[in-house]
Chain A
Amino acid sequence: SQTIHQWPATLVQPVGSPLSLECTVEGTSNPNLYWYRQAAGRGLQLLFYSVGIGQISSEVPQNLSASRPQDRQFILSSKKLLLSDSGFYLCAWSRQGEEQFFGPGTRLTVL
């Protein structure tokens, strides 16, 4: 069976510090991978998606970036965090044309 992992689960960072969130998927190959952000009490904002190694599509211009160094690894990064980057970050995977499965999420607080 497939599983998706995210870490860390919780993170508190000062404004201006860097960020690296990691997502890995097990039990499948060549998945589509996604990063979403959910502000408190709000909907799911698609940040990035990837259909293969090194292939990243950005949905929202901002100070975040994503990379996919391996088939089942998806990383979300920032060089300098802003207060507005606080939120619940969800990674998801899917097969082509199939449902998305979400990871457990990382709750980021920028102070």
Chain B
Amino acid sequence: GENVEQHPSTLSVQEGDSAVIKCTYSDSASNYFPWYKQELGKRPQLIIDIRSNVGEKKDQRIAVTLNKTAKHFSLHITETQPEDSAVYFCAARAGGFKTIFGAGTRLFVKA
């Protein structure tokens, strides 16, 4: 069945450094790749997404890249801040209905 692998499971960086989270997906029909941020005890919230017709998308300190051939996509956070500390989920969707989520990456940004 469909699967999304996410690495690393935990990531600790110093404030101001960059953080990179990587995901791979199995369903070649996937065409939509959202990233969610979940703070402790709260609901996941979309921070950025990318569609299969685009290779890269950037929004201020956050960027996402997509390699459809390799079925890889990555989240890049530059100039990290303590408030970036949270759990980040990647996801992949094919056909507009079912979204498969990765297991999550717990990001710690040390001040």
Contact = CB atoms under 8 A, between A and B. Distances in A.
Contacts of B34: 99-100
A96 B98 CA distance: 10
Given A102-B43, A102-B45, A46 B103 contact: no
B43 A46 contact: no
B104 A100 contact: no
Interface in B63-111: 89, 96-104
Interface in A75-111: 90, 94, 96-97, 99-105
Contacts of A49: 97-98
A34 B34 CA distance: 16
A42 B99 contact: no
A46 B2 CA distance: 12
Nearest to A100: B99
Given A42-B103, A42-B104, A43-B103, A102 B98 contact: no
Contacts of A53: none
Q: Is the interface of B mostly helix, strand, loop or mixed?
A: strand
Specify the main secondary structure of chain A where it touches its partner.
strand
A102 B101 contact: no
Contacts of B102: 43
A95 B96 CA distance: 8
Nearest to A34: B99
A11 interface: no
Contact of A99 (B42, B49, B97): B49
A43 B101 contact: yes
B32 A44 contact: no
A90 B43 contact: yes
B43 A97 contact: no
